[in-house]
Amino acid sequence: MFDLDRWREIFQSINKNKLRSILSALTVAFAILLFTLLFGIVNGLTNFFKEAFADDAQNSMFIRVWKTTKPYKGLQLGRRIQLRNTDYDYVTGEYSNKIQYQSARIYKNFTIKYKNNADAYNVRAVHPDHQFLEKTIIDEGRYLNARDLKEKSKVIVIGRLIKRDLFGEKPALMKRVNVNGISYMIIGIFSDDGGDNEERMAYIPVTTAQMLYGNNDYISQINLGYDPSLSLDAAVAFGNKLERDMRKQLNIHPDDQSALSVRNMAEANKNVGQFMFILYFIAIIVGSGTLVAGIIGISNIMIFVIKERTKEFGIRKALGAKPASIISMVVQETVLITTLAGYVGLTLATFILSSESLREVLEEYFIKDPSVSQGVVIGATIVLVLSGLIASYVPAKRAANIKPIEALNAD
């Protein structure tokens, strides 16, 4: 039940002892401030890594080839490695049980023109699964399908910004554009979390590109999406085996790192996961140390304060106050100070982390949108409040239970 007289006494006590109240509040506020900033920065690093990988599926693998730097099986160094449809089919046949998605890529740079508007854009020739590997978001129409590949259709899916460049606010779906001198029908318009560069790309069927631009079966790259049910370790092992087998398939020396690479997102995810685990572990250790320092600070201050108020407690007992009443007053006062100070520390830390100027500086150090879960900080504040309660209860109980005459004679 709310006791107005009790709260008056508490505020009078705080006003009478401004220095120790301020010291107690500063201890709590500083501990919560550091705790929040520390976890906010760690979360900012996590956000940076998430955004860096946002453009591609988290289970992606990319097979790329260049020139050899080592002779192998009578073949000279400097040999240009060329991926073909047979290599794509080899991967499909050998690893179909471990692959969720698969697509080839052929890179082109073409001028795309519509009426009087024209510009150069990156055009990728791909398979339908590429939509899921690239996390392409279809805003209008559809993506490429198996029929487009089979019929070698002259169809194209353009990015949102290409549509804006060439058509403005006018509809673009099912319109025809001139792509390097050849007419293509727009069947889809997409957006992409990867940003402007990704949204200024266009996709055409891989079979169409092979027929029109070289009349060959060449491909630039093979992209895979491994089975997401695989653990990170199993996915890394799969990527390593795939690389070894592709070296045999393409007659590349086992140690020639420049001729072929398999970029495996599982390795990146594993490394990032380990790195973030270490960061969070450090944050927990340092954050816990900060809270412990805050708890010790509160405890020391409360022991001194209660010792200083022993005579006051003696007078209260001589006037008929019960020990429980004295303990309750001290505990309520401590909880009030720690709660308010914790809120101030949390508010200040939140304000700092939300500062646009600070965020711009932190982005240069790979820290993106630093923030911290309210639950974590509130939990830390509760720990400090409970610690302050315990820190005040124990000496207050001891002081409240001594005899009035001893309290009045205390130094």
pLDDT, residue 397, reads 76
DSSP run (H or E) holding 209: helix 206-212
pLDDT, residue 13, reads 66
pLDDT 10s digit of each residue in the chain, 411 long? 456 666 676 677 667 667 777 777 787 788 788 878 888 888 887 777 766 665 667 889 999 999 999 998 888 889 999 999 999 999 999 998 999 999 999 999 999 999 999 999 999 999 999 999 988 999 999 999 999 999 999 999 999 999 999 999 899 999 999 999 999 999 999 998 777 788 999 999 999 999 999 889 999 999 999 998 999 889 999 999 999 999 999 999 999 988 999 999 888 777 777 777 887 788 778 777 777 777 777 777 666 667 666 677 677 767 776 777 777 777 777 777 777 887 888 888 888 888 877 777 777 766 777 877 777 777 777 776 777 777 777 777 776 676 666 655 655
Can you point out the beta strands (E) in 128-205? 137-141, 155-159, 176-179, 182-191, 201-205
pLDDT, residue 353, reads 81
pTM of the complete model beyond 0.85: no
pLDDT, residue 404, reads 64
Q: Which of 388, 277, 397, 373 is closest to 333 using CA atoms?
A: 388
Contacts of 386 (CB under 8 A, 6+ apart): none
Q: Which of 306, 282, 343 is closest to 31 using CA atoms?
A: 343
Categorise residue 120: left if φ over 0, alpha if ψ from -120 to 50, beta otherwise: beta
Task: Tell me the sheet residues that pair with 201.
Answer: 122
* 397, amino acid identity: K
Angle at 220 between CA 214 and CA 225, to 5 degrees: 135
Q: Which of 36, 23, 19 is closest to 299 using CA atoms?
A: 23
Residue 169 and residue 117: Cα distance in Å, rounded? 13
* 84, amino acid identity: R
Residue 87 and residue 102: Cα distance in Å, rounded? 12
pLDDT, residue 3, reads 62
